[in-house]
Structure 1
């Protein structure tokens, strides 16, 4: 388990130095890759391979210890409920084999502030001193002694999400979320001195563990994944929190060896070459600035020129109209069919279906305690939305509105852990979700910006409250595919759908606020207000144009 921390550190360093130069001179063992390289992923893989010989002795520059064996002082696993309920501590851990990993996939998504990595390890051997107390699949277990494990054919997927933070009047990069999913092909386990050294009971329990290792591993998998993720998140932030962005990304793009060249090739004597190199460096620097300013949600605000003329689907309203809110409500309603098709001239992707990265759930108290969420969502039905009311308050810069969504069909993946009323819920896999009669009430602040000499609206600080008339849900692979338990929980959720949604509405509303903000800003920051909110004089001209057409 713990070896992954250091493997991910190596991948993290390689991918980081592939597109961000933290110092004027990079360490000689870091192989620099070009962001524009059409074979960037292959270059990063080669960079990792270049680091492999260093793993045995470690990399002191980044506080990475020797990896053969990899020594870890302590790991604590506390699984308090479910089929596996144990608290165990492992000390003096030695891991053999982590340097033999293979990097299968790397993807750096600058628009979404995200890095995705896939790894494979053929074999890991672990030894440690353990202390354990609890219950595994209804079997009590306790002991203190030596543990040995042999794990083969390990696949791991990592997603790292970043953001900017302010600290001591400086801007730093921060790893906000770190997700990991891993699968083990096979495992054998040996725990010595179980049950105070009772040989017969110990042998029976070890036999039981090895016969049921998949069930045990799947039960504690969410805890292991969270533990590994937290370890690496803290480690990576130690690097990013050490240097402000103005040092990692200097204002002037004159860092030796930045992106396009290795360190040894950095001295350029020809004036024209220096000029071209600076132009390219500044171009990449601009891309990196966009990377650090991008949002974390799946639906992204994309750059596009302002609309010059009013498209046929855009209704114009008179600013002084006493029925302005009604007119804006009609404008909103007529816009939805266009969103469904997409608006190429505004760089707005099709809205039907709507792809979303994730909707998170985090509720730690009350009848429902649940953490995790849905990810890789495909939402069908949002283009059938109907605005129910609009309150556009220009003096106070408030924009409130309501939406009715008659039907939403959602397909996604899920990863959830917690308790719903009286039933535990643990699982990850496909999710089918059907919501009917969704009533949303949105409150948002807005500000007016001048872009190219024309005024546009930008949404900020949004709050979303909603109710659901009905819900049907099916979470596949609950309790590691146990059909009886899974069917019981799914049936219970469908019978108590309204209460469950009500309990989770605040947490889900926070995710929806980010999504709705991006959707609105992707539209209204590209449509000047002089095309849809007119003065009396311009509105008269608009009416005459309508009559002539």
Structure 2
């Protein structure tokens, strides 16, 4: 049976129909198939982070998210020129696949940093917050789990459906020009936001991380569309 492994964009090829030397396809009959694929992901990931221009595949580190919007009743933020770095240093926690059911999952962790221009107005809990300037958000141990369904169509793998979840150990914020540069208010607000990072990330994280995951899925679909399934894994 043909087996798809969705490596979350962490496989590479130098041209359609040609795998590079650092990719060693796994065998569908390998009793340790999960471990084999997990090792492939770990080795190929940093190389794939550079992108594959000849296949139209953009780099995954940095990820260009452009505009990210948080639009809640109490807090509105628009991030523009948004860039996320750090995926290159990811680590694979586990990979599991059920070829017979066409289901698989990938669990990985990375330390990532989001930089953008922000425009923010609203409040966090009881604290008003407003500003327009540069934003930097550092996320420690961002853990993402992707579960997906797959199929083979005309010799190529396709991801037909996916679900994702995430968690993190910590987040740290730096917003310049809060309250038009008022130093006292800025320091108080920055201290408050970093002490209450979990509450703030409940608002900011969903749209940003959803876009990160979508960018990776789009890249994978391009890769799978360009390279036949039987060149990515052997029978």
2:226 to 526, 535, 538: 526
Query: Post-superposition shift, 1:492?
Result: 0.9
Q: 1:331 maps to what in 2?
A: 40
Matches within 5 A, 1:218-297: none
Q: Provide the C-alpha distance between the structure 1 equivalents of 2:38 and 2:175, rounded to a whole number of angstroms.
A: 37
Q: 1:509 to 1:409 in 2, by over 3 A?
A: closer
Q: Which has the higher helix share?
A: 1
Query: Which ranges in structure 1 are unaligned for 5 or more consecutive residues?
Result: 1-303, 536-549
Q: Provide the C-alpha distance between the structure 2 equivalents of 1:373 and 1:320, rounded to a whole number of angstroms.
A: 49
What is the DSSP-based 3-state SS (H/G/I as helix, E as strand, rest coil) of the residue aligned with 2:226? coil
Q: 1:221 maps to what in 2?
A: none
Query: Post-superposition shift, 1:502?
Result: 4.1
Q: Is it true that 1:436 corresponds to 2:140 in the alignment?
A: yes
TM-score, with structure 2 as normaliser: 0.81
Query: Post-superposition shift, 1:507?
Result: 4.2
Aligned residues: 223
Query: Post-superposition shift, 1:387?
Result: 1.7
Q: 1:412 maps to what in 2?
A: 116
Q: Provide the C-alpha distance between the structure 2 equivalents of 1:494 and 1:387, rounded to a whole number of angstroms.
A: 28
Q: Is it true that 1:361 corresponds to 2:61 in the alignment?
A: no
Matches within 5 A, 1:94-133: none
1:456 to 150, 153, 156: 156
Q: 1:306 to 1:341 in 2, by over 3 A?
A: closer
1:422 to 126, 129, 134: 126
Q: Provide the C-alpha distance between the structure 1 equivalents of 2:205 and 2:53, rounded to a whole number of angstroms.
A: 34
Greater gyration radius: 1
Query: Post-superposition shift, 1:503?
Result: 5.4
Q: 1:375 maps to what in 2?
A: 80
Q: 1:319 to 1:355 in 2, by over 3 A?
A: same
What is the DSSP-based 3-state SS (H/G/I as helix, E as strand, rest coil) of the residue aligned with 1:463? strand
Q: Is it true that 1:343 corresponds to 2:47 in the alignment?
A: no
Q: 1:428 to 1:501 in 2, by over 3 A?
A: same
Query: Post-superposition shift, 1:460?
Result: 4.4
Matches within 5 A, 1:85-100: none
Query: Post-superposition shift, 1:384?
Result: 0.8
RMSD: 2.6
Q: Provide the C-alpha distance between the structure 2 equivalents of 1:358 and 1:463, rounded to a whole number of angstroms.
A: 23
State the structure with bigger RCO (CA 8 A, min sep 6), 1 or 2.
2
Q: Is it true that 1:496 corresponds to 2:196 in the alignment?
A: yes
Q: 1:448 to 1:489 in 2, by over 3 A?
A: farther
Q: Provide the C-alpha distance between the structure 1 equivalents of 2:38 and 2:17, rounded to a whole number of angstroms.
A: 23
Instruction: Assess if the C-alpha contact under 8 Å between 1:415 and 1:428 holds in 2.
Output: yes
Query: Which ranges in structure 2 are unaligned for 5 or more consecutive residues?
Result: 1-12
Q: 1:485 to 1:458 in 2, by over 3 A?
A: farther
Q: 2:97 maps to what in 1?
A: 392
For residues 456-479 of structure 1, give each alpha carbon's deviation from its aligned partner in whole angstroms, at most 9, with x where no partner exists: 222344333222222221112222
Query: Post-superposition shift, 1:480?
Result: 2.9
Q: Provide the C-alpha distance between the structure 2 equivalents of 1:427 and 1:494, rounded to a whole number of angstroms.
A: 16
Query: Hey, which bits of structure 1, 4+ residues long, moved more than 6 A?
Result: none
For residues 448-502 of structure 1, give each alpha carbon's deviation from its aligned partner in whole angstroms, at most 9, with x where no partner exists: 232xxxx222234433322222222111222233332222222111112234324
Q: Provide the C-alpha distance between the structure 2 equivalents of 1:371 and 1:493, rounded to a whole number of angstroms.
A: 15
Q: 1:475 to 1:355 in 2, by over 3 A?
A: same
Q: 2:22 maps to what in 1?
A: 313
What is the DSSP-based 3-state SS (H/G/I as helix, E as strand, rest coil) of the residue aligned with 2:92? strand
What is the DSSP-based 3-state SS (H/G/I as helix, E as strand, rest coil) of the residue aligned with 2:79? strand
Instruction: Assess if the C-alpha contact under 8 Å between 1:427 and 1:479 holds in 2.
Output: yes
For residues 45-96 of structure 1, give each alpha carbon's deviation from its aligned partner in whole angstroms, at most 9, with x where no partner exists: xxxxxxxxxxxxxxxxxxxxxxxxxxxxxxxxxxxxxxxxxxxxxxxxxxxx
Instruction: Assess if the C-alpha contact under 8 Å between 2:57 and 2:219 holds in 1.
Output: no
Query: Post-superposition shift, 1:305?
Result: 10
Instruction: Assess if the C-alpha contact under 8 Å between 1:363 and 1:507 holds in 2.
Output: no
Query: Post-superposition shift, 1:323?
Result: 1.9
Q: Provide the C-alpha distance between the structure 2 equivalents of 1:340 and 1:509, rounded to a whole number of angstroms.
A: 17
Q: Provide the C-alpha distance between the structure 2 equivalents of 1:513 and 1:522, rounded to a whole number of angstroms.
A: 14
Q: 1:404 to 1:443 in 2, by over 3 A?
A: same
Q: Provide the C-alpha distance between the structure 2 equivalents of 1:414 and 1:447, rounded to a whole number of angstroms.
A: 40
2:214 to 510, 514, 526: 514
For residues 411-469 of structure 1, give each alpha carbon's deviation from its aligned partner in whole angstroms, at most 9, with x where no partner exists: 2112233321221222222112212111111123333232xxxx222234433322222
Q: Provide the C-alpha distance between the structure 2 equivalents of 1:319 and 1:499, rounded to a whole number of angstroms.
A: 44
Q: Provide the C-alpha distance between the structure 1 equivalents of 2:100 and 2:232, rounded to a whole number of angstroms.
A: 18
